[in-house]
Amino acid sequence: MLRALGSALLTLIVLCAAPSARAQTQPDTLLVNRNSGMCVEIPRGNAEPGIWAVQYPCKDLREQRWTLTRAKSDYVIRNAASGRCLEIIDASTQDGHSVNQAVCDGSRKQVFRAEPIESWVRLVTVGGLCVDLRDASIDDGGLLIQRPCGGASSQKWTLYGRAQPSAWSSKISLPLVPVAAATLRNGKILVWSAYDRFAYGGDQGKTYSALYDPATNRSTERLVSSTGHDMFCPGTATLPDGRILVNGGSSSAKTSIYDPATDVWTTGAPMNVPRGYQGDTVLGTGEVLTIGGSWSGGEGGKLGEIWSPARGWRTLPGVPAEALAAKNDPGGIYRSDNHMWLFGSSFGYAFHAGPGVDMNWIRTTGGGAIKSAGPRGDDVYSMNGNVVMYDAGKLLKLGGAPAYELVRAVDGVYSIDFAEGPFARVKVAKQRPMAFARAFVNSVVLPTGDVVVIGGQNYAQLFSDYRGVYIPEIWRMRTGTFERLAAMTIPRNYHSVATLMLDGRVWVGGGGLCGDCPTNHPDAQILTPPYLLNADGSPAVRPAITTTPATAGYGARVSVTTDREVASFAMIRLNAVTHSVNNDQRRISIPIEATRGTTYTLRLPSDRGVLLPGDWMLFAMTKAGVPSIAKIVRVQ
């Protein structure tokens, strides 16, 4: 079945629908090849007949946009820039014959049939062959030809309909490459790089950081040397009191803590096991679990540890990282215990979702223990993929690659439901794939439960803009389908970040940190998602939360007043992200228990493993899903 892109696109591409006597058109459609992740275009929109159709990275350029006109089950495909139509010259049935453009004349040689194949379509030519890429090319300028139809990925196409209303801000210059970022309760964005603004290497005992203020659209830089900590490639966690904990990295045993209330960095207790590239998560107790990290501090032996404000770090001898690491990483343990996907849960457990294919429960009490949660279901090792909690105990796993670098990324998407806890079966379900395979990808959950997927590469290559994915996608929670958003102009690949702002927009930045190289991106842009815009692109009218408590307890009834009628509420925890890992990011829908005018009584969850202690963004939403600006509620 095809990716549903709204009722209009369904009408266009689902071939089993009843044919219409009147032609139907779908403008601004992209033809995305599954094998290469690239788009069909007419170079520079050249209107000369006979020009070959080729592929280039998808940037939503006019020469990459096509109007598909449907008559019965067939399509005429017209380029928006050149005004010409794709055709097979002379209606050839020759294997390897090119796909060209010509003056649109409605002849049979310009008619293509779209056949469903799994989650894509094959474009069948008049001679009964399929549109393919010469030599299954994954390179810029690869030529479209026709070949005998089969199951090759290079014959699978996504007909990606018009972008949803969305917009990018102008580029925001930063003093450094933001390799890590955290949204703070005051609405500012904390970012940092390494000992250098634009490079990393070794333990230099200092870190460049900056604080971006959306109110002024400016950032202020600070060199943090007081903690003696080079905070490149660490674990990160947003503590219950709003502070940001940073552990390990280039200074592999150190811990530093940033307090947004005082704007001060302080030294935390050192870890017992030095590490970098590990995974962290906050637990229901307010403690922090860290595991893995053979990138620094020596290879192997990266036992789990628990941090608490009173005791510092204690080891979990029953939680060896080797038991959680992927078994088939070509880089061995140096890579396989990196970037673990960890999520605090109920009953003193944390849930481990990958990147390896085997999921696990981790008991965090006593000396700790590991209990299998079964295979994830996709059977694909997904290093540098992404996982986000879009509702209580429900994860969306996106993309990744079977090695850290120099391999093709995957486009697979799976939902993982561990809401019933460590004593029940974890439910895994395959979702429709993304249109673009992505490694080094970031994803951000919105108040609606939809997930914005940003950046990454369809071929994992460190410190490179090559094969970057410029078109974000939004996964719709209610339908399990993807839609495309406005294209970026700056690639966001390795060492990029994305985080939700208090106003419901998405802050995206970084990429690079490679010294004197052309792929450093010391800048950011802000994405305005579809729910903040009307169909014509004008700003949607937003509700506002006028009163809410500053703190709340578990199972509490909370009274919230808005300036107009709303339909739903959700909470999203403040969080920190680096290297595509944002384990503390989680969204929870909050039921309305009673309504009186525009005053609503909300019931918070009583389970600390669901509603982790700390600062949460509370959003009110209209029936159409337009969110308010968030109010911060501290759960304690």
CA separation, residue 276 to residues 189, 247, 353 (Å)? 23, 8, 19
Helix (H) or strand (E) holding 151: none
The whole-angstrom separation of Cα 170 and Cα 376 is 39
Q: What distance in Å separates the CA atoms of residue 610 and residue 586, rounded to the nearest whole number?
A: 9
User: At residue 411, what is the residue type?
Assistant: D
Two structure tokens written together for 192? 């940092």
Distance of CA 357 to the CA centre of its chain: 19
Handedness of CA 333, 336, 338, 341 (dihedral sign): negative
Compute the distance between CA of residue 205 and CA of residue 39 in angstroms, rounded to an integer. Answer: 45
| Strand 551-552 relative to strand 631-635, pairing | parallel
Beta bridge partners of 388: 396
Q: Are 236 and 180 in contact (CB under 8 A)?
A: yes
Contacts of 135 (CB under 8 A, 6+ apart): 142
Beta strands in 148-197 (DSSP E): 157-160, 167-168, 172-173, 180-183, 189-192
Instruction: Return d(Cα 42, Cα 60) in angstroms, integer.
Output: 13
Q: Does residue 361 sit in helix, strand or coil?
A: strand
CB 425 within 8 A of CB 418: no
DSSP state of 246: E
Q: How far apart are CA 618 and CA 592, in angstroms?
A: 13
459 a catalytic residue: no
Helix (H, G, I), strand (E, B) or coil at 269: coil
Residue 220 token pair: 């202020």
The residue annotated as part of the active site, out of 277, 390, 404, 494, is 494
User: What residues contact residue 311 under an 8 Å CB cut-off, 6+ apart?
Assistant: none
Q: Which parts of 330-454 are beta strand (E)? A: 341-344, 349-354, 358-363, 369-375, 386-391, 394-398, 407-408, 413-417, 427-430, 442-445, 451-454
Find out whether the peptide bond into 260 is cis, omega within 30 degrees of 0. Answer: no
Give which of 227, 234, 312 is closest to 271, Cα–Cα. 312
Report the C-alpha gap between 387 and 399 in whole angstroms: 9
Whole-number Å distance between alpha carbons of 51 and 620: 52
Residues annotated as catalytic (active site), given as ranges: 494
